[in-house]
Amino acid sequence: MSFPPRYRTAPVKSRGDLAGEASRSKALRAALELFAVSGFKGTSIAQVAAKTGLSQSGLLHHFPSKAALLSAVLEERDAEDGRFISNDGEAPLGWAAFDALASLVARNSTRPQLVSLFVRLSAEAIEPGHPAHQWVRDHYDGIESWLTDALRTGQAQGEVDPEAPVASLVHMTIAVLDGLQQQWLLQPGRVSMVSDFAAHVALLRSRWGTGRDAELR
């Protein structure tokens, strides 16, 4: 994994460069959709190429291997999500982190492909040898440490009960997030990720919140 990003520094873009970049991003979109539906192993380079409108070799001209293609797709997704969570440069803390998460859920509920990509990959990549294994681990580590920080800070600021079992709450919250996505994909319509996740957050607040944040806002 972790292929260096292709250099895109060129200040001058010829017509050919533009066409190349267009093909590249079209391929990324195609790959994302196919990986989301059929997983990484279940998708062939030929399928991505066909959906992109390139030949198989043409696609491999932009991405040296299938794993590199996956890596590029994940990088893009990461960049986008990162920008969404901390659009002002700082990740929110305290209960505000859970609100930010809730709005991320709301956004995801309009993007089933992204959700599907994530659910499929994080199951497929449990296997240590999988090309996305490290990415999934990093992803979980990231959320876990963010939420842990958020709760600890909340305790320090008196908006979260100091007795709250931080680690447990973090794991539960991540679990709810993932589990709801899974159910939502399987039974679209039956499950509302947004309201069910909101119910979870409300539950947490009602048990471990001090009520001080309600006054503060």
Partner DNA sequence: ATCTACCGACCGAGCACTCGGTCGGTCGCA
Partner DNA sequence: TGCGACCGACCGAGTGCTCGGTCGGTAGAT
Q: Which residues bind a second copy (CB under 8 A)?
A: 37-39, 41-42, 116, 119-120, 122-124, 126-127, 136-137, 140, 165, 168-169, 171-172, 174-180, 182-183, 185-187, 191, 195-196, 199-200, 203-204, 206-207
**Whole-number Cα distances in Å, 32 to 38, 45, 185:** 10, 12, 16
Rounded to the nearest 10 degrees, the angle between the axes of helix 112-124 and helix 15-38 is: 70
Question: What residues have CB less than 8 Å from 62, skipping those under 6 apart?
Answer: 20, 23, 24, 27
Residue with tokens 């709450």: 169
Residue number, 45 or 194, with CB nearest to DNA: 45
Residue number, 88 or 163, with CB nearest to a second copy: 163
Considering CB under 7 A, how many residues would be counted as binding DNA? 29
Is residue 17 a contact point for DNA (CB under 7 A)?
yes
In degrees rounded to 5, what are phi and psi of residue 119?
-65, -45
Is residue 130 a contact point for DNA (CB under 7 A)?
no
Residues contributing to the site for DNA (CB under 7 A): 12, 14-17, 19-21, 23-24, 43-47, 53-62, 64-67
